[in-house]
Structure 1
Amino acid sequence: MAALPLTHPDLDGPGVLLAALEANHGVLAGAEVAQFEMATEWAAHPVDDLDDAATVEGTEGELAIAGPGAPLVAEFCVADFALAVGLTTYAGRDYLGDAVEVRYRLPRLWERVMAGQVAVWRARKIARQTMSLPLEGAEHVDRHLAPVAHRLTWAQLERTVEAARATFDPVEAEHRRLLAAEGRFFDVDTHTPSLAGTTTVRGELDLADALDLDHALTVGAQRLADLGCAETLDVRRAMAAGALARGDLMLPCRVAQSRSRPQSLGSSSSTPTCPRKPWLVWRTPAPMCSWARSRAGAPPPPAPSASARCWIWVSTSRCPATHVNPWDQGGPTCSCNLVPACRFHHRLKTRGGWRLERVGHRLFTWTSPHGRTYTRHT
Structure 2
Amino acid sequence: MIEAQAGPGAGEVEDLTASDLLALARGSKTAEDRAAAELLQVAARWADLHPPESIHSAASFAVAGCEHEEPIAGPGTPLVAEFCVAELGAVLGITSVSAKKLIGHALELRHRLPRLWSQVHAGRVPVWRARAVAEVTIHCTPALTREAAAFVDAQVVAVAGRIGPAQLDRLVAETIKRFDLATADPAADPEDGYLHVDPRHVTIHDQDVHFAGTVRLEAEVDLADGLDLHQALAHRAATLKALGSELPLDARRAKALGDLARTQTALALFQHGHTNRSDDGQDLPVAREVVLHAHVDATLSGDTTTFGPTGRLEEGQRLVLLDQLKSWCGDSRTKVTVKPVIDLNAEKSAPGYAIPDRIRDHITLRDRTCVFPWCGRPARGCDVDHVTEYDHDADAEGRPQPGPTHTDNLAALCRFHHRLKTHTAWHYRMTAPGVFEWTSPHGHRYRRDRSGTTALDPPDPGPPELGPPSIPSPRR
- TM-score by structure 1 length? 0.68
- Structure 2 matches for 1:150-229, cutoff 5 A? 150-168=161-179, 169-171=181-183, 174=194, 180=200, 184=222, 185=225, 186-187=228-229, 188-189=232-233, 190-192=235-237, 193-194=240-241, 200=253
Q: Which one has more relative contact order, counting CA pairs under 8 Å at least 6 apart?
A: 2
Asked if 1:13 is matched to 2:17, the reply is: yes
- 1:136 aligned partner: 147
- 2:32 aligned partner: 28
Deviations 1:98-153 (A, max 9, x none): 11111111011111111111111001000000013222221110111122243222
Aligned match of 1:358 in 427, 430, 440?
A: 430
Please say if residues 425 and 441 of structure 2, whose CA atoms lie closer than 8 Å, have aligned partners that are also in contact.
yes
> Larger radius of gyration, structure 1 or 2?
1
Instruction: Give, as a single letter, the amino acid of the residue that structure 1 aligns with 2:94.
Output: L
Q: Distance in 2 between matches of 1:141 and 1:313?
A: 52
SS at match of 1:357: strand
Deviations 1:195-225 (A, max 9, x none): 689675999xxxxxxxxxxxxxxxxxxxxxx
Asked if 1:67 is matched to 2:130, the reply is: no
SS at match of 1:145: helix
CA change 1:102–1:335 in 2 (3 A) is same
Aligned match of 2:83 in 76, 81, 91?
A: 76
Please say if residues 365 and 376 of structure 1, whose CA atoms lie closer than 8 Å, have aligned partners that are also in contact.
yes
Which structure 1 segments of 5+ residues have no match? 1-5, 204-270, 272-276
SS at match of 1:307: coil
CA positional deviation for 1:171: 2.4
- 1:327 aligned partner: 390
CA positional deviation for 1:19: 0.8
- 2:446 aligned partner: 374
Q: Distance in 2 between matches of 1:191 and 1:66?
A: 45
Instruction: Give, as a single letter, the amino acid of the residue that structure 1 aligns with 2:347.
Output: S
Q: Distance in 2 between matches of 1:134 and 1:107?
A: 14
CA positional deviation for 1:179: 9.3
CA positional deviation for 1:355: 0.8
The number of equivalent residue pairs is: 301
Please say if residues 30 and 116 of structure 1, whose CA atoms lie closer than 8 Å, have aligned partners that are also in contact.
yes
Instruction: Give, as a single letter, the amino acid of the residue that structure 2 aligns with 1:20.
Output: L
SS at match of 1:55: coil
Q: Distance in 1 between matches of 2:342 and 2:413?
A: 26
Q: Distance in 2 between matches of 1:27 and 1:86?
A: 20
CA change 1:298–1:54 in 2 (3 A) is closer
Instruction: Give, as a single letter, the amino acid of the residue that structure 1 aligns with 2:290.
Output: W
CA positional deviation for 1:344: 1.6
CA positional deviation for 1:358: 1.4
Q: Distance in 1 between matches of 2:199 and 2:169?
A: 17
CA change 1:322–1:301 in 2 (3 A) is closer
Question: Percent of counterpart pairs with the same letter?
Answer: 32
SS at match of 2:67: coil
CA positional deviation for 1:345: 0.9
Instruction: Give, as a single letter, the amino acid of the residue that structure 2 aligns with 1:14.
Output: A
Asked if 1:48 is matched to 2:54, the reply is: yes
CA positional deviation for 1:90: 0.5
- 1:339 aligned partner: 411
Which structure 2 segments of 5+ residues have no match? 1-9, 185-192, 203-220, 258-278, 280-284, 298-306, 312-321, 330-335, 349-357, 365-378, 392-400, 451-476
- 1:146 aligned partner: 157
- 2:209 aligned partner: none
CA change 1:57–1:18 in 2 (3 A) is same
- TM-score by structure 2 length? 0.55
CA change 1:301–1:61 in 2 (3 A) is closer
CA change 1:40–1:280 in 2 (3 A) is same
Q: Distance in 2 between matches of 1:130 and 1:11?
A: 47
Q: Distance in 2 between matches of 1:121 and 1:75?
A: 24
Q: CA RMSD in A?
A: 3.8
Aligned match of 1:114 in 114, 121, 125?
A: 121
Instruction: Give, as a single letter, the amino acid of the residue that structure 2 aligns with 1:348.
Output: L
SS at match of 2:432: coil
Hey, which of these two has a bigger chunk of helix by percent?
1
CA positional deviation for 1:80: 0.8
